Structure 1
């Protein structure tokens, strides 16, 4: 069986932005490219809310909305809708071994008969009740059942979206649903769909009885290439706590996936444990490799599937909005806002990110090209209240951000047209302190600390920086995930 692996090419912001496409219209042009808010707002709703907030301040703005999917929940439905395809309803085994209603789709284009599957539709975190969130026992068995159904329908190609998972079984349950036998050292078959902890006794994987059509079908996977199966940055340690694992369970899962990784590597004849994408969706990427799947960086794959190209960022926009449920250090690891920012910077576009909550080390996103980020929260509230009010909070946050942008634009015009003394420019506290230590004026500090930003963007950053600082340091502020 042929195995093909893609390696992500890292893109850095260009020092010489490419020229924008020309437009006769002088109205403000804004690009909105959000991800969804997990378990709260889908990406289309997020885009609509941002647009509504922006139009409160700039009613005549030319706005282009490009809602993006990270391969998680909603990916299949969006792709089916965009191609005029068909959804198939099916009952499968959910992540906690209970029947759940699910779907897969068939593309409506004229290419090879292609099925599209969200792993989250079978094993997503949303399907795991909060009181049962234990990634040592949740299973991807239902993902295998979706694949089995698509194979039985005679498809020639399968696209799998990885994201929003509630599992950490390395795709073991999926393999079992497709006919693989997981064996212990005595040759005894492991029980079906028992989750990641069962892999601690794994000694071999027998693929003899896998569905025969897997040899004929191309499987392509849109996944986060920054996620690896094992090691300090392995999927158990990075995502286990988010899925409900205790510290002890995290280490147990990590050890079990180490064992699994060694066996998968032996079967494929190459090291898989640190392969890009092997840890996607709780290690499902590694299991899919055993089926001959091709792993692709999700942004690259998704933009191809939805027909998005580089002209999106060359279309003479003045500003880009992006969004996701949580902005933190992990955002830089292949998530939609950072991917958007990197590409926007190639064309010199400022980027503002709105988030349900701001987490640890969120300032790492400045290096990815996000000029400013802020939480949509307006004060302490429960998670339930925040989710109920999410649309209003997002609209209000977009409005506030846009007010700051227009204020910055106004100040920028005043600075360039007034012949009197320079207008003082607000500098965030760390930058101001650094400037004072170096004996610089605030204006010089601005130029030194933020050399790539226009005065227009810098004023926006200054205000939004304060909002983000408040939110990220207020422990009582419980917000969206």
Structure 2
């Protein structure tokens, strides 16, 4: 059989590559002769570079040197060069909330992401993909654009990857929806909303565009200033890594994430994988740390759903050793078919 292993990361636990490798190890312990294809996935958030590097042959990590972190402290800048000369930059690596020593919703900046992009352009990148997710700031991308003063978009264009459709402004916009996650109080949300409103007024672009509010409005900044285009992250990365192509000749797809809930099928990695499996009539095995809702039957294509928490006896036990329980999940999946 031909098996495609295409999980998202198990957030707070293991990245997508480690998840895929552990599941694959378990599967091979039962069915060693199967053709196993590991294609870790992402939706544009943290872990996007690692997922692409693990799935696309010929990619190269490139250093941008020290860049400005979201709270002003220096961090290591890094981007991914694809074989065709495209640069992939992950906002979370240089301007992500996980890099903050303390949350600072007013002062946090995307400048380091702009410095990373500048390094990629200086190296001759012909196109640019920016993975938006995990942002620490709500600056509309102003910090990044300031770092890019004097630069022009590459000839091959700029694609923005995101899994949200929020506009820039209003009750469902960047400040109101995502500001609290970044530590913003009600008064700070109002201040951020005012800043974004004034920032948007300097451009001839529509702040109501779906996805413009992604990454604290960074999507809007690049949409307006660099004529970037916004794309759903999971489908774009699925295409880039060859997931759609591989499922055309696969018998079983194994996919999953840390917590499977009612949002999992709404623009996320697992939901996109399910859609591709249905399109190709491929059997599906869903693996998750826990299921708070049952996955859809996929017109009878769902072979099994495997919970690490059930295998381990509790969520705490599963989190204590996720690598072991993912191997067990891969073994159980192989026994199921």
Give the TM-score normalised by the residue count of structure 1: 0.59
Residue 312 of structure 1 deviates from its aligned partner by 2.3
Contact 1:44 / 1:67 at 8 angstroms: preserved in 2? Answer: yes
Equivalent in 313, 327, 332 of residue 247 of structure 2: 313
Q: Which runs of 4+ in 1 moved over 6 A?
A: 367-370
**Structure holding more strand per residue:** 2
Q: 1:104 aligns with which of 71, 79, 87?
A: 79
Unaligned runs of 5+ in 2: none
Instruction: Report the CA distance shift for 1:278/1:394 in structure 2 as closer, same or farther (over 3 A).
Output: same
Change (3 A) 1:173 1:368: farther
Does residue 165 (structure 1) correspond to residue 140 (structure 2)? The answer is no
Question: What is the rounded CA distance, in whole Å, between the counterparts of 1:254 and 1:290 in structure 2?
Answer: 22
Say whether the 8 Å CA contact 2:132–2:160 is kept in structure 1: yes
For 1:94 and 1:82, locate their aligned partners in 2 and report how far apart those are by CA, in whole Å. 30
Shift, 1:40, TM fit: 3.1
CA–CA separation in structure 1 for the residues paired with 2:31 and 2:109: 48
Count of residues paired in the alignment: 330
TM-aligned CA deviation for residue 46 of structure 1: 0.9
Distance 2:9 2:115 in 1: 26
C-alpha separation in 2, matches of 1:329 and 1:287: 31
Shift of 1:45: 1.4
Residue pair 1:356, 1:375 contacting (<8 A) in 2 also: yes
CA 1:156–1:351 in structure 2 vs 1: closer, same or farther (change >3 Å)? same
Does 1 or 2 have the higher relative contact order (CA < 8 Å, sep 6+)? 2
Q: 2:205·2:223 contact (CA, 8 Å) conserved in 1?
A: no
Q: Which is greater in Rg?
A: 1
**2:321 matched residue in structure 1:** 389
Distance (whole Å) between structure 2 residues aligned to residue 77 and residue 31 of structure 1: 18
TM-fit CA distance, 1:79: 4.6
Structure 2 residue 100 is the aligned partner of structure 1 residue 128: yes
Q: CA deviation at 1:91?
A: 0.6
What does residue 308 of structure 2 align with? 376
Gaps of at least 5 residues in structure 1 are: 1-27, 179-209, 407-481
Report matched runs for 1:264-283 at 5 Å: 264-273=199-208, 275-283=209-217
Residues 321/393 of structure 1: CA separation in 2 closer, same or farther (3 Å cut): same
What's the Cα RMSD here? 3.3
TM-score after normalising by structure 2: 0.81
CA distance in 2, matches of 1:272, 1:33: 34
Pair 1:67-2:40 in alignment: yes
Corresponding residue SS for 1:366: coil
Within 5 Å, which residues of 2 pair with 1:198-217?
210-214=149-153
Distance 2:89 2:193 in 1: 27
Instruction: Tell me which of 147, 154, 178 is aligned to 1:177.
Output: 147
Partner of 1:83: 58
1:326 to 251, 259, 264: 259
Post-superposition shift, 1:373?
Answer: 4.4
Post-superposition shift, 1:355?
Answer: 2.4
The reply on whether 1:117 has 2:94 as its aligned counterpart is: no
Distance 1:169 1:375, change over 3 A: farther
